[in-house]
């Protein structure tokens, strides 16, 4: 897809979602950029150096832990779930922010409703194909804007951006939006993940500049 056509398609998507009332944001970009961040026009790619190939025949997403019903979704089953599109801002702990990112996918809250978490579940732990993990408070993980995203700008989510499926958690720094997602554990205890045990903040709120420490 040519760059001009790509930009036009992206703008049409944002316009459509705005008309539907699914995009609520300040018109002043400065009000949408947390302290210590700067805007980027591109979408930088950061990972641990391993991007697992995607095979729709063997791909699965496991939901387990403190749930009434464990799930093992195939690619076809995942694709058949109710879908949404949303526009949200993305803030990386390395100090860049990208506004108006158009994602498509499945609301994590809908998958949670299928699995029926037990009252003992307090955290969600994401497991990824590159042995990457990260932790979320369950109350935040089930927010209305948290997605299991498999589309970016109306196209299948590219491998460099975490395809085929990644978490999108707009209210927290980008390392919580785990790439190459393979499993989600509903846990009765917190389990700090890859970056959290290496000094990153356990929560990661960009508006509080929770970059490092507890």
Q: How far apart are CA 105 and CA 150, in angstroms?
A: 5
CATH number of the domain to which 169 belongs: 3.90.420.10
Domain span including residue 203: 60-208
pTM of the model: 0.86
Q: Is the pLDDT of residue 2 over 90?
A: no
Q: Is the pLDDT of residue 45 over 80?
A: yes
The percentage of the chain sitting over the pLDDT mark of 70, rounded to a whole number, equals 86
Helix (H, G, I), strand (E, B) or coil at 6: helix
In a domain, 214, yes or no: no
Q: How far apart are CA 91 and CA 33, in angstroms?
A: 8
pLDDT bracket for residue 43 (50, 70, 90)? confident
In a domain, 51, yes or no: no
In a domain, 132, yes or no: yes
In a domain, 4, yes or no: no
Q: Which residue has the tokens 């699995």?
A: 115
Specify the DSSP element, H or E, that contains 174: none
Q: For 64-92, write each residue's pLDDT tens digit.
A: 999 999 999 999 999 999 999 999 999 99
In a domain, 39, yes or no: no
How far CA 87 is from CA of 14, 161, 181, in Å, comes to 7, 16, 20
151 vs 11, which has greater pLDDT?
Answer: 151
In a domain, 188, yes or no: yes
Based on the structure, what is the number of domains in the chain?
A: 1
Written as six digits, the tokens of 36 are: 């210590």
The length of the chain in residues reads 214
Q: How far apart are CA 93 and CA 175, in angstroms?
A: 7
Q: Is the pLDDT of residue 1 over 70?
A: no
Written as six digits, the tokens of 169 are: 């958690």
Q: How far apart are CA 63 and CA 111, in angstroms?
A: 9
* Residue 209, C-beta contacts closer than 8 angstroms, at least 6 positions apart: 34, 35, 36
In a domain, 8, yes or no: no
- Give me the pLDDT at residue 210, please: 96
């Amino acid at each position: 897809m040519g760059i001009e056509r790509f930009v036009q398609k992206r703008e049409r998507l944002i316009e459509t979602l705005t008309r539907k009332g699914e995009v609520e944001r300040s018109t002043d970009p400065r009000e949408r950029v947390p302290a210590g961040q700067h805007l980027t026009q591109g979408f930088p790619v950061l990972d641990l150096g391993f991007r697992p190939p995607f095979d729709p025949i063997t791909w699965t997403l496991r939901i387990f832990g403190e749930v009434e019903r464990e799930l093992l979704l195939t690619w076809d089953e995942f694709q058949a779930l109710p879908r949404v599109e949303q526009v949200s801002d993305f803030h990386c702990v390395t100090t860049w922010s990208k506004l108006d990112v158009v994602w498509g996918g499945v609301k994590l809250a809908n998958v949670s409703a299928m699995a029926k978490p037990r009252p003992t579940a307090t955290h969600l732990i994401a497991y990824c194909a590159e042995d990457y993990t990260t932790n979320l408070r369950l109350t935040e993980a089930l927010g209305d804007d948290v997605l299991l995203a498999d589309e970016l700008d109306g196209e299948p989510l590219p491998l460099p951006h975490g395809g085929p499926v990644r978490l999108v958690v707009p209210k927290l720094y980008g390392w919580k939006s785990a790439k190459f997602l393979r499993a989600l554990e509903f846990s009765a205890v917190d389990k700090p993940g890859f970056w959290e045990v290496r000094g990153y903040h356990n929560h990661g709120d960009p508006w509080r500049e929770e970059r490092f420490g507890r």
